[in-house]
Structure 1
Amino acid sequence: MANKFLKIHPTDNVFVALTDLKAGENIVNNGSSFVLNDDIPSKHKFVEYDLNPDDEVVMYGVLVGKALSHIPKGGAIGTHNVKHKSSSFAKRTEPFSWNAPDVSKWKDKTFLGFHREDGQVGTANYWLVVPMVFCENRNVNIIRQAFEEELGYAKPEAYKNYVHELVELYKSGKTDSLTSASLTPHHTNGHNKVFKNIDGIKFLTHEGGCGGTRQDAEALCALLAGYIHNPNVAGATVLSLGCQNAQVDILKDKLNKLNANFSKPLIILEQQKEGTEQELLTQAIRQTFAALIEVNKIERKPAPLSKLVVGLECGGSDGFSGISANPAIGHVSDLIAALGGTSILSEFPELCGVEQELINRCVNDDVANRFVQLMRAYAKAAEAVGSGFDMNPSPGNIKDGLITDAMKSAGAAKKGGTSPVSDVLDYTEYIKRPGLNLLCTPGNDVESTTAMAGSGVNMMLFTTGLGTPTGNPIAPVIKLSSNTKLAQKMPDIIDIDCGPIITGEKTIEQLGEEILDFIIEVASGHKQAKATMLHQDDFIPWKRGVSL
């Protein structure tokens, strides 16, 4: 490792330990030196000079906290001596200019995608089966059982077979052998698929649609409409009970607003009209199978990279996320923007403290004002129930060096790169403009990824420092580790290791270019993301109350 510590921005007054450092170790930076006052574990931070109570802590060039007590030069910072503090924000304060990266290498490149009649291009071809209300979850799962194995989309039986082996050992009295019985994991290879051009049937279940607020029911309809409209979806089967708040008419209205000429096959069945459960399920299965025959005729064809719509997400972040994986996918976002494509940065609680920078990057005052309005409304709603953005870092974040929300946010925002903010979207709004979009979602990983797919992403990049097994039913999720140790420990979920940035073996730009090349391979169906292989189909609609 070339360096043992890092000062991220010239104005910072803290350093990041890139490896475990010991008290008494000499730190030399820009001609000055001092001795560490404490042991500093890898990923954690120490101060450059003495801090007194209420002195500001600066990292990434922005305010991320304030000292609660005296912190000596070379001393470690943590929740015991530093508290969240962030800068205020208002309207745009300075002009913004952007030096777009050179994209000549990708100018004429294409990916093989599924072209939809409305001009969108999918990186996958899925059929959806969705309920309008939780009362239909059971029927959705019955259809799942009927279809998945027969059509070749079922999950591997490895764990079922493993339990069978344990049962046999128990029955034969060989309980001493239980601890040595091993599992041989494997993934579905797709060779037994009945429909070769359909990547899968995705069955979404949820706990909404009735019993909550009418606003939540309407938001659910908008989210489901976004999923059906998503370019990775060829068509859908919708099950309604009939009496719920989330009415089919609302869903149709939301679809019409997304595309007045909506032409995808859409099967809608209402249990209270069909009569018996058997009649409902028979109709659903028969009509869906007939639609699958037609959808299977769609084939992949070349599409320009401007048709990529990439979601930018982080989860299980650590002290390296903001200096390796996040800026790496931030560079990808910049490359995609320069190519005329689209990216979405979400998780508004994790933009706390960097609002002014994002405001100044907005293409006009209207976009900037929208961002201000949504951020302030969200923060106010959190405070109204006795919470706040300052409570966002999880125990895992704090343990691995992210001790305040502003510190976490400053690193999380690096996923958005440096390009102009072309638009700001509220939850369930669909993308309208290419370039970097900001989407109002919680910091909760699955609520955020669920929302991005509903807003039109056809790919996702997901960074993690601790390891998070999150996926999405319709958008391939490429998982990137902030450190090599994680990539080696959890190779089943990590697609790309960004640890070489920490060791100095690769630059942020080099990793970003490699990630874009990997995206093209996954978007073309030549490679599968680990989350897809593992059937990680996470789907949680956001109940707009408060979720941080």
Structure 2
Amino acid sequence: MGTAESERCYVGIVTSVNCSASAAKLLAREAELSGLLEKYPGVDGIVPIVHGAGCCIGTDDDAFRKLQRAIWGYATHPNFASVLMLGLGCEANQIRLMLEAYGRPLDESFHYYTLQSGGGTRKSIEKGLLWLETALEKANKAEREPTDASHLTVALQCGGSDGYSGITANPALGYAVDLLVKNGGTAALAETPEIYGAENLLTDRAASPKVGQKLVNLLEWWEDHAQKYGSEMNNNPTPGNKMGGLTTILEKSLGAVAKAGTTNLNGVYQYGERIIEKGLVFVDSPGYDPVSITGEVASGCNMICFTTGRGSCYGNKPVPSIKIASNSAMYKRMQDDMDINCGTFADGSETVAEAGQRIFNTMLETASGNKTRSEELDIGDAEFAPWQTYAQM
């Protein structure tokens, strides 16, 4: 059985509203400038999770619950050893509403206050620095230890796809997913509009009629959602996709579903809903990569495998992002951002199975501490992007 050590150890500052975003970033910066983090080599970093939402919205609909689930999913993510949740105080997305909805964590790893109760920006940062001393000391005591691959929950993603994606990188990732599932792990497919037209490849292997119907219900919601905004589900390929050789959503969807391998579909989840089944699952989200991955990470994914044909510079904290190139030309051009080249299959130097085994091995190596390209570049502080479907008032 494949084994991996426990993954990343960050301390997070998660904001409930955009109004506290600058204070969260200032707190992280002050901690860095003070050299505080240098005293705790066992901690991977301090991550401010900020966003542009949280107020002037209704609080009794599913759109608000999407936002809550995304924020709470990060606040309770296992790759955060400790979290400070920072609000302004008068926002619609009250911290107490999340505590009422999800229950406050019982241990001391979760702390919260608002800028209004803390006496403003400067005093709140001073208060946060005192909290960080304790949080970092505690996080630094965490010891990485070997565990099996069943503890991995991998977000599957493709972005900047091209005509090679569905032939090389996505099938290779699908092979790796089958290995992961065989070893007790979990893989989460997402981007609902990008399975449109190929959904039967998933419903035909749903673990139960209920699971299959949940996926169908998501697609029906998306058809209605697109129509409300004068758009169409079959108009998905981006200019970059088209320049790379994709012309229709069906071509794109057939390639996207290939990431999911061949095992049963065991669960279908709302955006940011906590994943509880093992094996292959599906998480509802748009096709926009940062928004989609935010939902997958909030649902509990602790690793990302991101295939691309045109090239991607995506990173994510607190979760490592493995980027997989579909063609060798782009891989060579963007080697500082790419982790794996699957253009080898098109070049004739490797089989899909061999490339898939390399991806699975990289998953285990990354879980065991090897840094991804995005981690080496320290990318991932700005990628928290909750899905916003509500009316802003």
- Matching residue's letter, 2:24: V
What is the identity, as a one-letter code, of the residue corresponding to 1:372?
A: V
1:530 lines up with 2:373 in the alignment: yes
> In the alignment, which residue of structure 2 is the partner of 1:116?
none
1:261, 1:200 → 2: CA distance?
22
Residues 15, 86 of structure 2: 8 Å contact kept: yes
Structure with the greater relative contact order (CA < 8 A, sep ≥ 6): 1 or 2? 2
Q: 2:139 aligns with which of 275, 295, 303?
A: 295
Q: How does 1:236-385 map to 2 (within 5 A)?
A: 236-256=83-103, 262-263=106-107, 265-385=109-229
Which stretch shifts more, 268-277 or 499-508?
Answer: 268-277
Contact 1:206 1:540 in 2 (8 A): yes
Partners of 2:172 and 2:386 lie apart in 1 by 28
Q: Quote the residue 1:47 is aligned against.
A: none
User: Highest Rg: 1 or 2?
Assistant: 1
Distance 1:324 1:149, change over 3 A: farther
Q: Specify the SS of the correspondent of 2:47.
A: strand
Q: Is the 2:272–2:297 contact (alpha carbons within 8 Å) kept by the matching residues of 1?
A: no
* 1:146 aligned onto 2:30: yes
What is the identity, as a one-letter code, of the residue corresponding to 2:5? Answer: L
Which of 298, 306, 328 is matched with 1:454 structurally? 298
Match of 2:236 among 366, 389, 392: 392
Q: 1:248-303 CA distances to partner (integer Å, 9 max, x unpaired)?
A: 122223442xxx86435111011222223322221111112211111110010011
1:264–1:220 CA distance, 2 compared to 1 (3 A): farther
Match of 1:201 in 2: 46
For residues 440-476 of structure 1, give each alpha carbon's deviation from its aligned partner in whole angstroms, at most 9, with x where no partner exists. 0000011011111101111110011011111111110
Question: Structure 1 residues 141 and 359, CA, compared in 2 at 3 Å: closer, same or farther?
Answer: same
**Quick one: distance in 2 between partners of 1:448 and 1:528?**
23
Residue 505 (structure 1) shift: 1.3
Once residues 17 and 105 of structure 2 are traced to their aligned partners in structure 1, the CA distance between those partners, rounded to angstroms, is 26
* Cα distance in 1 between the residues matched to 2:33 and 2:293: 27
2:5 pairs, out of 100, 112, 126, with 112
Moved over 3 A (4+): 149-153, 215-218
User: In 2, distance between residues paired with 1:205 and 1:142?
Assistant: 12
Q: For structure 1, list consecutive stretches of 5 or more residues without a partner in the other structure.
A: 1-106, 114-122, 154-192
The reply on whether 1:133 has 2:17 as its aligned counterpart is yes
Pairs within 5 Å for 1:51-66: none
Query: Which secondary structure state, in structure 1, belongs to the residue aligned with residue 268 of structure 2?
Result: strand
Q: CA deviation at 1:236?
A: 0.5
2:67 corresponds, among 220, 223, 239, to 220
User: 2:76 corresponds to which letter in structure 1?
Assistant: H
Q: Cα distance 1:353–1:284, how it changes in 2: closer, same or farther (>3 A)? A: same
Over residues 204-232 of structure 1, what are the superposed CA-to-partner deviations in whole Å (9 max), with x where a residue is unaligned? 11110002343444322221211122221
Go from structure 1 to structure 2 and tell me whether the alpha carbon gap of 1:448 and 1:510 turns closer, same or farther (over 3 Å shift): same
Structure 1 or 2: more helix by fraction: 2
* AA in 1 matched with 2:246: L
TM-score when scaled to structure 1?
0.69
Note the 1:417-436 alignment, pairs <5 A. 417-436=261-280
Distance in 2 (CA, whole Å) between partners of 1:338 and 1:261 is: 32
TM-score normalised by structure 2 residue count: 0.95
1:423 touches 1:438 (CA, 8 Å); kept in 2? Answer: yes
What CA distance in whole angstroms lies between the structure 1 residues aligned with 2:390 and 2:308?
Answer: 27
Mapped contact 2:64–2:390 kept (Cα < 8 A): no
- The amino acid of 1:504's aligned partner reads G
SS at match of 1:313: strand
Moved more, 220-229 or 478-487: 220-229
Confirm or deny: 8 A CA contact 2:69 2:271 kept in the other structure.
no
Aligned to 1:501: 345
Using the TM superposition, name which of 280-289 and 321-330 deviates more: 280-289
Instruction: Note the 1:72-221 alignment, pairs <5 A.
Output: 107=1, 109-113=2-6, 123-151=7-35, 193-214=38-59, 215=61, 216-221=63-68
Q: Could you tell me whether the CA contact under 8 Å between 1:326 and 1:414 is conserved in 2? A: yes
Secondary structure of 1:519's aligned partner: helix
Contact 1:255/1:262 (<8 A) preserved: no
Q: Does 1:512 align with 2:360?
A: no
* Equivalent AA in structure 2 for residue 134 of structure 1: N
Q: CA deviation at 1:343?
A: 0.5
How far 1:147 sits from its partner (Å)?
Answer: 1.5
Measure how far apart 1:195 and its partner are: 1.2
Describe the SS at the equivalent of 2:146: strand
Q: Structure 2: which 5+ residue stretches go unaligned? A: none
Residue aligned with 2:166, SS: helix
Question: C-alpha separation between the residues in 2 aligned to 1:228 and 1:459?
Answer: 16
Aligned length: 387
Deviating more after overlay: 206-215 vs 229-238: 206-215
What RMSD in Å do the two structures reach over aligned CA positions? 1.6
Deviation at 1:336, TM superposition (A): 0.9
Secondary structure in 2 matching 1:532: helix
Give yes or no for the alignment of 1:231 onto 2:78. Answer: yes
